Structure 1
Amino acid sequence: MESLTAKPFRGSGRILGLAVAITVLLTGCEAQSDEAASMPPPPEVDVAEVVVEPVTLWESFTGRVASPETVDLRPRVSGYIDEVAFEEGELVKAGDLLFQIDPRPYEAQKQAASAELALANSQLDLARSEAGRARTLLESRAISREEYDQRNTALMSARARVQAAQAALDTAELNLQYTRVTAPVSGRTGRALVTQGNLANADQSLLTTVVSVDPVHVYFEADEQSAFSSQQLLANGQPRGVRISLGGEGGGQYKGELDFVDNHLNPGTGTLQYRAVLNNLDGLIKPGQFARVEMPVAELDQALLVSRKAVLTDQDRRFVYVVDEQNRVAPRQVTTGRQVDDLQVIREGLNHGDLVIINGVQKVFGAGMQVKPQLVAMKESARGEGAVVVAQELAQ
């Protein structure tokens, strides 16, 4: 008789294990899906392609503005000042009246000299007549040769007295002209050091100073290496233009031109002196003013340039962040050169076509991080304009 007890189903344990495994798998997938959904999107950064172009490298030097002509104005004749005919510190032209010395004593001297000349001329006429008669009398043997010679000597003396009287009159007229003290050069006056009613002594009393103001000179000194480099450019026929920055009232950027280079280096400082000429039509630039001069020292045919904002510093090394084709970030150590306006010359570390991060570097936390790049123009970004050239993601 068969037993009525039911036998256990052997496949139930397998089914239970399979159900548990499926449950665990579904739970893991759900967790991964939640984790992926919670990850932030790649940060947006501005990138720009390395610029390759010929550039001129400039070196900056300190200098001082100087006047091409500085005149200490002193009188050529002595006398009391009748008039100060200018406003202190004003611009004057060559020939403008600045001081008037009392002319009356010199007018009297001129009149006296004129009278002496008239007297000498009358004596000359008399001597000329007597010498003519003496020649006639000598031919008729009415006078001796000795008397004839005496009358000729008197004629020559009369001529000499006329010349002396004429010279005295010329001197008197010149002294009278010197009572008008005029500006010898066009420029700006200083303050009047001798005022109306005071005595001015010839060649001694300093009346005022006049400095020419247009153009002005800027003197500066370059170190030996920069001087050597700039001399090579000048020898090759490069333009002699320089850029000059000034502070104060006449501040701003100006363009000047080199017009003098000294013929030897200063042995004490190892520097070479240069001079640039600078137009100053409005007269605002003043002698003695501090200046910063930028002079070209090298020419690069194919320079690699990036925005200065792209170059980061870590202790003693400099680097940039480069974005590859997968939009992943990698730091790249670079060797920098001189600055050209808002761009930095890269001597080593980058290649033509590399994309470097310009803005958004603070969003990068490590190498290999993925970003969402926006392509911008390197030069506009360097100037802070941030103009987007291609407003699209680089990743396709």
Structure 2
Amino acid sequence: MIWLTSCDTDSKPKQAQAMPPVNVVVVKVAARRVPFSIELPATLSGSKEVEIRSRVAGILISRNFEEGDRVNANQSLFTIDSEPFLLDIERQKAELLATKARLDRAIREEKRLKSLRADKTVSQKEYDDVLSTLQISQADLLSSQTRLSEAQTQLKYSQVEAPVSGIVGRENVSEGTYVSGPQILLTQMTQVDPIRVRFGLSEREQLQMRQDAEKSLLTLPDKGHWLTRIKLQNGQFYQQVGQVNFRDVRINTQTGTSEFQAIVPNPDVALRPGQFVHVLLQGAYRENAIVVPQQAVMDNGVGKFVYVMVTNEKNITVAKTAPVEVGEWIAEDKTTGETNLWVINQGLKEGDEVIVEGMAKIFFPGTEVKAQVSSSEPVAEFTHPSTTQS
């Protein structure tokens, strides 16, 4: 019987080699003062909606505009036949001349009887009668002057003028039609420069902002005068900036919102009444906020999280997940040049080191990392942040 034996010097398993640290870039977060904004759906309407009516009755002889035109204040829109008013003016002028002649005669008669009365040639009653005639003639003169002024005003009103600058609508009365006066609507016009922006802000959002302001966590615009920017349907922002000028104290029981209104300059009439837009409210600031670059925030299907760099119990620098609640998104900080930043409401504290680059190589929490620190300046200004995340 032959026994075969073998000695294998490499039979012991080799120890697994440790993975090298993952190179990452981190940002040490700090409390900052950052802009706070709200984006809300809104509708546009004219700053003034005006009904155009004639103040005088007569035949409408011409329309002096094209429907849909932009017209200036005091521009003639309609012409009412002026011939009756011109005739009335001539009649009132003639009546005024006659009244002046009667007054001149009364003045002369009063002077004559006044001297005779001094010599007691005429009675007191005769003098009193002449004096009364003089006073009546003076009143008749004022009345004649008033009627002439009224006739001239009627002539002026035969030109129906635009009370404001804006866009004029369709005509409701054709040329040649008899217009009986103000009860007939001739057309309508809308003042579009400036233009109104109307939107609702929920009671819940208002309450949260008031509570944050009371805790000195939020600084609101003075007297509620939020700056407003218009976001169009294509995602672009209108270049003109407006301001909130009205807030309804009542809460709509059906929507749970308060109505707000802003006025925005619209010199090129690019904005039109009836448009659906989004309004961005700016001018508030969140105090002592934690801000991180957008790429640092990830989603695992359960919620949002970031990787923070920590030292474990073995004194090894590793990546650890930190669930976070995000707030406002800041697109760009014009002061520092930083772009795409998230405000973190919960989950991070000042001094935490957040990994902002190299996360794709971190396959599981606890991976050893080697960090390169990236400086991050406080956020002071921004171009157009989006709405608060919920």
Normalised TM-score (structure 2): 0.76
Q: 2:342 aligns with which of 339, 344, 347?
A: 344
Q: Deviations over 1:207-265 (max 9, x none)?
A: 22222222222222222343345565677848833333343599624532222333454
Bigger relative CO (Cα 8 Å, ≥ 6 apart):
2
Question: Aligned pair in 2 of structure 1 residues 141, 239: CA closer, same or farther (>3 Å)?
Answer: closer
Taking only aligned residues, the RMSD between alpha carbons, in angstroms, comes to 3.7
Q: 1:137 aligns with which of 116, 126, 142?
A: 116
User: Equivalents in 2 of 1:61, 1:204: separation in Å?
Assistant: 40
Alignment of 1:241 onto 2:226: yes
Alignment of 1:80 onto 2:70: no
Q: Deviations over 1:20-44 (max 9, x none)?
A: 233646xx66xx8xx97xx998887
User: Equivalents in 1 of 2:275, 2:34: separation in Å?
Assistant: 30
**Residue 248 of structure 2 aligns with which residue?**
262
**Residue 336 of structure 2 aligns with which residue?**
none
Structure 1 position 176, deviation (Å): 0.3
User: Equivalents in 2 of 1:194, 1:75: separation in Å?
Assistant: 11
**Residue 122 of structure 1 aligns with which residue?**
101
Question: In structure 2, the residue corresponding to 1:124 is in which secondary structure?
Answer: helix
Question: In structure 1, the residue corresponding to 2:120 is in which secondary structure?
Answer: coil
Which residues of structure 2 form unaligned runs of 5+?
332-339, 383-390
> Which one has a bigger Cα radius of gyration?
1
Q: Deviations over 1:276-321 (max 9, x none)?
A: 2212121221223223233359643332222344333345433223
**Residue 367 of structure 1 aligns with which residue?**
365
Q: 2:323 aligns with which of 333, 357, 360?
A: 333
**Which one has the bigger helix percentage?**
1
Question: Which structure 2 residues correspond to residues 128-277 of structure 1 after superposition, within 5 A?
Answer: 128-228=107-207, 232=213, 237=222, 240-247=225-232, 252-253=237-238, 254-266=240-252, 269-277=255-263
Alignment of 1:288 onto 2:288: no
Question: Which structure 2 residues correspond to residues 32-71 of structure 1 after superposition, within 5 A?
Answer: 49-50=28-29, 52-71=31-50
**Residue 278 of structure 1 aligns with which residue?**
264
**Residue 102 of structure 1 aligns with which residue?**
81
Normalised TM-score (structure 1): 0.75
Structure 1 position 164, deviation (Å): 1.7
User: Equivalents in 2 of 1:208, 1:287: separation in Å?
Assistant: 17
Alignment-mate amino acid for residue 348 of structure 2: L
Question: In structure 1, the residue corresponding to 2:66 is in which secondary structure?
Answer: coil
Q: 1:311 aligns with which of 284, 297, 301?
A: 297
Which residues of structure 1 form unaligned runs of 5+?
1-12, 384-396
**Residue 20 of structure 1 aligns with which residue?**
7
User: Equivalents in 1 of 2:59, 2:22: separation in Å?
Assistant: 84
User: Equivalents in 2 of 1:285, 1:236: separation in Å?
Assistant: 26
Percent identical residues: 30
User: Equivalents in 1 of 2:235, 2:283: separation in Å?
Assistant: 27
User: Equivalents in 1 of 2:285, 2:41: separation in Å?
Assistant: 22
Partners of 2:233 and 2:277 within 8 A in 1: no
User: Equivalents in 2 of 1:77, 1:234: separation in Å?
Assistant: 55
Question: In structure 2, the residue corresponding to 1:150 is in which secondary structure?
Answer: helix
Alignment-mate amino acid for residue 156 of structure 1: Q
Question: In structure 2, the residue corresponding to 1:367 is in which secondary structure?
Answer: coil
Structure 1 position 198, deviation (Å): 2.6
Question: In structure 2, the residue corresponding to 1:141 is in which secondary structure?
Answer: coil
Question: Aligned pair in 2 of structure 1 residues 211, 324: CA closer, same or farther (>3 Å)?
Answer: same
User: Equivalents in 1 of 2:243, 2:375: separation in Å?
Assistant: 33
Partners of 2:296 and 2:306 within 8 A in 1: yes
